[in-house]
Chain A
Amino acid sequence: MTALAQARLRPPRALQLLLALILAVAHGAAVAQAESRPATLELGFGGAVVADAWNPLRLVLRDVGPVQLELAIDRGTLREGERWSRYTSEIAGGSGLTVFEDEVYVPVWRSLSWVVRSGGLTVASGSLSRTQADRRPLDLMVGEPGSEVRSMLSGGRTIDLAADRLPLRSAAYDGVGRLIVAAPAARPQALIAAAVAGADVIVTPAALTEPAIAELFPAGVERRAVGAGRLLTHEGFRAEAAEPRVRLDQAALVSALAAAERIELPRPVPMLPLLLAASVYSLVVLLVLRFGGVPGVMAALVLGLTASVAAWVPLRPAEPGVEAVRELVVGAGGVGQRWRVHERLTLPAQTVIFPVAGWPLSYVDARQGPTQVAIDLPRWRSVRVLERPRATAMALVQEVDGSWRNAGERPLDFVAVRGGDAVQDVPAGGLVPNQTRDVRLPELALSLLELLPSGAAVASDGPRWLVALPQHALAEGPP
């Protein structure tokens, strides 16, 4: 083909320019449309959701009035049918930008969809495929840590995140395995929140140039236990590459807590005394009616009224429901992740409302919101709800010399160290003595100890259970 023929086949320059212009305009319009969406919802970090964990939820509204967000999750099975959990929240919205942030528990779902409505109209909606339900923890990366760190993280679910998108509440990091901070813009509170939740927070030299972040590492410290997780410098992380730590299974600890000391149903009055009383009443009424005449009728009516009151008092349970709260704090360094399990037993069928953000551990339909969980329960049933975890002070701390101290305001009933001592009655502010006594530990304490690494301690001050992780044994996994 000659050059002339080739030139004839090529589109004219004007047409090329026109096509380029159209593409540019279309791209610009698409970007503008994305930015001008009235509502954008992000579940998880960068759209990556960790199943069976608390995930951050962020809804951005642009110039939209009051809206209702509904997140519907079906965690049912083919065998047992649908089991819906509906999270709803009313958001005021208004002119300008409104950001709503919360944390929601996301189970392994069969269907997950969300919709934002305003005045009866759907403003935005979306869904996640069930194939996206992944239990593996995330590795969050803020800034560019370099190829060395990236290669050490290979194989995980790595998400790049902007420093200002790091949540400040520890519950958001429930599904995070590691947080790599390579940007000085990251807020130290977010780093501590991630560590409290159980994540390994790895801070690179670039991030340590920020004094507020550098303050997290006392001089010479490369690894530091904070809450259920740790803060590590780049050197500390590198040194540990040869002896990787098994992550503490907080879900197993919470399961042990939830399974222990369940509320028992009220025991019914034995049948024999009841049968005897009913028979005596019937016999007396029949005799009075048969032989008492008109006065007998009156006496039978009075007897009936008296017997009703007499039956009511001993047979009626004192309360229509029983509620119990169990608390577990997992942590180290004076701070921990608090897990609370609420359990309620109801005798009449009713809608049970827990005034907390939570997730039902029982396999039931639930209506949730930022401040409450509502569950319709049939008669004589109990339900357990796991409250959203939060950071709190840790009463049991390990001193520099390895001894334990009760830093709380209440005395501890006992302190038991895995592979070490077990002592009773540790006063508030007191040191735990290093001597083994014949202490009979509760079932729950034994269950918790089995799940902990060597050197970790379990304690209780009555309603609250403490799992304190040691500073020196963090590199060890559960045996």
Chain B
Amino acid sequence: MSELFARLEQRMREGDFPQVATLVFAALVVTLATAWPSPGNSANESWFAFAQTRSVILALLALGYGASAAVEPPRRAVATGLMTLLLAVLVLPLEVAAYAGSYPATPLWWSVVSVPVAALGYLVLGVLLGRAVRAVRLGAFLPLVVPAAVVGLLLLDLRLGWTVLNPVTSAIVVSPLYLIVMASLGLIGIAFAVMGWRRGRLREVTA
């Protein structure tokens, strides 16, 4: 366990994490402030804008880190995944603030449960995406493929009339199917992460 924390600490000290985390927090604070109603407004609708923005940002982040983790050493990839998950959990107080004022019909547990589960699911999707893109030797286009994937998932859901894969509608509507799919992907990811962690240790020992 101490090895895991050490790896996480090491990963978080790398230059990209503070920058990305700062960007995520800044974007969400600005979203909260702009969506918050002025005293003359009739209703507080801030949660809807905030939850969808948060969901899309975290999905982009998880897909991107997942795609990059596909080519990382297993232990570093696990640390990257944990780091993303941590960031997803730490933005929840901002969501609670927007939720408390808005009084939406969607229950709060949906946000609390779906945020970490979705982060795990999109990480696994990102890994699969990264491997697929690199398999067709288009790794250079990954920065374009990740947002395109989010748009694709949204269009697919809209086309089929469900909420299973996209981060936009799933943020504000309780969708058991979405939770099942993301949790399944997450469990697969955890299983591979455990296997990767052990394999990584074996490599280090043999090295």
Q: Does A270 contact B (CB under 8 A)?
A: yes
Known contacts being A294-B5, A308-B96, A311-B97, is A274 close to B33, with CB within 8 Å?
Answer: yes
Which positions 63-108 of chain A face chain B at CB distance < 8 Å?
Answer: none
Q: Does B9 contact A (CB under 8 A)?
A: yes
CA distance A350 to B93 in the complex (A): 26
Residues of B in contact (CB 8 Å), total: 39
CB-defined contacts of B21 to chain A, threshold 8 Å: 286, 289
A293 to chain B minimum Cβ distance, whole angstroms, is 5
Q: Does A379 contact B (CB under 8 A)?
A: yes
Secondary structure of the B contact surface, majority rule: helix
Q: Does B36 contact A (CB under 8 A)?
A: yes
- Do the beta carbons of B90 and A285 come within 8 Å of each other? yes
CA distance A268 to B94 in the complex (A): 16
Q: Does A281 contact B (CB under 8 A)?
A: yes
Proximity bits, B47-90, A CB within 8 Å = 1, else 0: 00000000000000000000000000000000000000010011
Which positions 335-388 of chain A face chain B at CB distance < 8 Å?
Answer: 347-350, 379-380
- Do the beta carbons of B103 and A268 come within 8 Å of each other? no
Q: Does A317 contact B (CB under 8 A)?
A: yes
CA distance A315 to B13 in the complex (A): 35
CB-defined contacts of A307 to chain B, threshold 8 Å: 93, 96
Q: Does A9 contact B (CB under 8 A)?
A: no
Max count, chain A CB within 10 A of own CB: residue among B5, B36, B90: B90
- Do the beta carbons of B29 and A271 come within 8 Å of each other? no
CB-defined contacts of A297 to chain B, threshold 8 Å: 5, 8-9, 12, 86
Smallest CB gap from B87: residue in A? A289
CA distance A311 to B94 in the complex (A): 8
CA distance A294 to B10 in the complex (A): 10
Proximity bits, A273-290, B CB within 8 Å = 1, else 0: 011011101100110011
- Do the beta carbons of A278 and B33 come within 8 Å of each other? yes
- Do the beta carbons of B90 and A278 come within 8 Å of each other? no
A269 to chain B minimum Cβ distance, whole angstroms, is 7
Known contacts being A271-B33, A278-B33, is A348 close to B5, with CB within 8 Å?
Answer: no
CB-defined contacts of A267 to chain B, threshold 8 Å: 39
Closest 6 CB pairs of A and B: A380-B43, A347-B103, A307-B93, A282-B25, A315-B100, A311-B97
22 contacts between A and B (CB under 8 A): A265-B42, A274-B32, A274-B33, A275-B29, A275-B36, A279-B29, A282-B94, A286-B25, A289-B90, A290-B12, A290-B18, A297-B12, A300-B90, A304-B90, A311-B97, A315-B100, A315-B101, A316-B101, A317-B101, A347-B103, A379-B103, A379-B104
